[in-house]
């Protein structure tokens, strides 16, 4: 990542800090001058207590003015017209301004308020303590705060951009094919959430590519078998003169072509059911009628009620066909039953048989693409191991899912739960 980004962030933070400190200083200086309060209350009170002697304050008048200054927390001084001090009740020297006009005057130890007396003298008031000895440390403390903030803002801005750089590096490595790389997740803010999403996306892409590679490898192996048989049959047909044997070769070739067509159809449906693929417009079908039409091929019993269901008909038909084919293949000739009905707000399609069932350890693995249970394959099992995986893909494509439910004492039941409005 371009390093100018974190420098821009740092300089922006620094500029905002300096501006804030400057405005704070101006506001503190402006709002510390309670002109209305002093003009309305303190100045008239001090004028009323100031001694009336034009040459100075002594005795009881001076004591009264000193006590008043102490009670009000003010430094009080009285000057004549030439700036000579006639009276002072101060904790620190109170200089006479070079331009003694009525109003506020800034001094090294605070703000001085001047108000004229009736006989030409000038009364001066200054708050004690706030801008006293501590006032000398105000600007240094402000400068020190600015330095501390500047030092603290740099790691903040650098920390933000460093995590963005890690995201950029992760995207670069993923673009080069390193999908196993994961971005470090630090903190719980939006950047951390983005890192989590990046990692989830990389994991999903890695999984999809792994499935595609497995699909290509398995499909190439499975497709090669019927293609090899077809090629051999064509070679034998060219040399075979016996009509009976030629007919047998042609029949077996037709069966191989049908098997090849079924394999290609399963691969196409599996590819279309992948997440992110463009969807075709849904059409409304009668789910019960579709199940009954597919049940005729395996002589299955169907019960239920007509249920309208918007979907991609070809996909749903393939899902139902695979469920019946799986029941016929693994049910070992037992009766196959199907039911279609509403279950709450969902549509429930169930296909069951009385076969040996599926071991508990295999009940979830059978839905994995290209997975075949260990042991010898049942007669007639020429598939890719995509049947049940394709059922789950189609169900999830329509917003539902497929689960396996064991039956007692033996048997299998596959339940497809679909939303009434996918």
Query: In a 3-state reduction of DSSP, which class is residue 128?
Result: coil
Tell me, what's the pLDDT at 323? 92
User: 272, 307, 330: which is the final residue of a domain?
Assistant: 272
b/e string for 366-394 if b means 16 or more Cβ within 10 A?
bbebbeeeeeeeeeeeebbbbbbbbbbbb
H/E run at residue 62: helix 59-72
Backbone torsions φ then ψ of 371, nearest 5 degrees? -90, 135
pTM of the model: 0.49
Tell me, what's the pLDDT at 134? 47
Regarding whether 297 and 262 lie in a shared domain, the answer is no
Tell me, what's the pLDDT at 47? 63
Per the CB < 8 A criterion, the answer to whether 393 and 273 are in contact is yes
b/e string for 51-72 if b means 16 or more Cβ within 10 A?
bebeeebeeebbeebbebbeeb
Domain of 251: which CATH number?
1.10.287.130
How far apart, in whole angstroms, are the C-alpha atoms of residue 202 and residue 181? 8
Q: Among 292, 306, 343, 322, which residue's Cα sits nearest to residue 395?
A: 322
Regarding whether 312 and 412 lie in a shared domain, the answer is yes
β pairing state of 85-89 and 301-304 = unpaired
Q: How much of the chain is helix, strand and coil, in % rounded to 5?
A: 55, 15, 30
Tell me, what's the pLDDT at 1? 44
- 10-residue mean pLDDT profile of the chain (422 residues): values are 60 76 66 51 62 64 78 82 82 81 76 79 77 56 75 73 82 81 81 84 80 68 74 78 79 78 73 66 91 91 92 90 88 88 90 88 81 63 72 89 88 91 72
Domain range holding 244? 199-272
DSSP notation for 184-218: ---SSSHHHHHHHHHHHHHHHHHHHHHHHHHHHHH
Cα–Cα distances in Å, from 54 out to 34, 57, 384?
29, 8, 117
β pairing state of 110-116 and 103-107 = antiparallel
Query: In a 3-state reduction of DSSP, which class is residue 358?
Result: coil
Regarding whether 406 and 289 lie in a shared domain, the answer is yes
Regarding whether 119 and 98 lie in a shared domain, the answer is yes
Alpha helices in 240-312 (DSSP H): 243-272, 287-295
Regarding whether 365 and 252 lie in a shared domain, the answer is no
The number of domains in the chain is 3
Tell me, what's the pLDDT at 314? 86
How far apart, in whole angstroms, are the C-alpha atoms of residue 11 and residue 73? 44
Task: Examine residue 98 and state whether it is found in any structural domain, yes or no.
Answer: yes
Task: Examine residue 182 and state whether it is found in any structural domain, yes or no.
Answer: no
Q: How many residues does the chain have?
A: 422
Query: In a 3-state reduction of DSSP, which class is residue 94?
Result: coil
Regarding whether 228 and 120 lie in a shared domain, the answer is no
């Amino acid at each position: 990542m371009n390093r100018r980004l974190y420098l821009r962030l740092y300089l922006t933070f620094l500029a905002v800090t300096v501006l804030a400190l400057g405005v704070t200083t101006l506001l503190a200086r402006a709002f510390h001058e309670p002109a209305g309060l002093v003009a309305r209350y303190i100045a008239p009170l001090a004028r009323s207590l100031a001694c009336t002697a034009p040459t100075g304050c002594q005795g009881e008048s001076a004591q009264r003015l000193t006590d008043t200054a102490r009670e009000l927390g003010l430094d009080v001084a009285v000057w004549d017209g030439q700036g000579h001090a006639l009276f002072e009740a101060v904790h620190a020297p109170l200089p006479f301004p070079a331009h003694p006009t009525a109003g506020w005057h800034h001094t090294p130890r605070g703000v001085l308020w001047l108000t004229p007396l009736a006989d030409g003298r000038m009364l001066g008031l200054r708050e004690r303590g706030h801008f006293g000895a501590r006032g000398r440390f105000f600007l240094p403390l402000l400068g020190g705060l600015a330095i501390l903030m500047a030092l603290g803002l740099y790691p903040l801005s650098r920390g933000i951009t460093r995590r963005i750089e890690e995201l950029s590096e992760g995207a670069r490595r993923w673009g080069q094919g390193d999908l196993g790389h994961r971005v470090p997740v630090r903190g719980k803010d939006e950047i951390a959430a983005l890192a989590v999403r990046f990692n989830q996306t990389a994991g999903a892409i890695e999984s999809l590519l792994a499935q595609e590679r497995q699909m290509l490898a398995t499909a190439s192996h499975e497709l090669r078998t019927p293609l090899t048989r077809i090629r051999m049959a064509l070679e034998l047909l060219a040399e075979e003169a016996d009509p009976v044997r030629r007919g047998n070769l042609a029949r077996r070739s037709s069966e191989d072509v049908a098997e090849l067509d079924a394999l290609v159809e399963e691969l196409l449906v599996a590819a279309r059911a992948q997440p992110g693929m463009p969807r075709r417009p849904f059409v409304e079908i009668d789910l019960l009628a579709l199940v009954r039409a597919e049940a005729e091929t395996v002589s299955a019993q169907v019960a239920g009620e007509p249920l309208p269901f918007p979907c991609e008909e070809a996909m749903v038909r393939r899902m139902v066909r695979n469920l019946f084919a799986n029941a016929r293949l693994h049910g070992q000739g037992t009766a196959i039953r199907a039911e279609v009905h509403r279950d709450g707000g969902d549509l429930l399609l169930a296909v069951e048989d009385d076969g040996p069932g599926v071991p508990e350890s295999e009940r979830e693995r059978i839905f994995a693409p290209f997975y075949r249970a260990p042991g010898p394959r049942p007669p007639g099992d020429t598939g890719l191991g995509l049947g049940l995986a394709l059922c789950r893909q189609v169900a999830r494509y329509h917003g539902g899912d497929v689960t396996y439910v064991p039956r007692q004492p033996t048997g299998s039941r596959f339940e497809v739960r679909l939303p009434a409005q996918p």
